[in-house]
Amino acid sequence: MGTKELKVGYVTLDSDTGGLDYRAIADIMTIEGKTMGHSTVRNIIMKLMEKFAASLMAANGVVDDPAEVAKGPMFQKMIASYLQEIYSTRTKV
């Protein structure tokens, strides 16, 4: 799969998998004493996704704009799935 396929579409949130939207994350952070709005949460998450994209692209010799790849719903779902797998593996031990 090329980077073009990773950039197509729009991200949707799936509450069935326990995902939280940006407002819910902002509310939790505010309750915990770190006041922030949903746009700040979105910006932080997108910067993190961009770092994931840049690292994965560099490791695989892919030349493209990490910021554009990071916006893609397929890329974000892949990262979310991978992180969920890591979390599930570590909590079973």
Q: Tens digit of pLDDT for each residue in 38-70?
A: 999 999 999 999 999 999 999 999 999 999 999
One-letter amino acid for residue 53 of the chain? A
Contact of 50 with 66, CB cutoff 8 Å: yes
Mean pLDDT of 64-93: 88
Alpha-carbon distance of 32 to 64, in angstroms, equals: 38
Provide the pLDDT for residue 58. Answer: 96
64: Cβ–Cβ under 8 A, 6 or more apart, which residues? 3, 57
Output DSSP code: residue 16: G
Provide the pLDDT for residue 2. Answer: 54
Provide the pLDDT for residue 35. Answer: 94
10 Å Cβ neighbour count for 5?
A: 11
Mean of per-residue pLDDT scores for the chain: 84
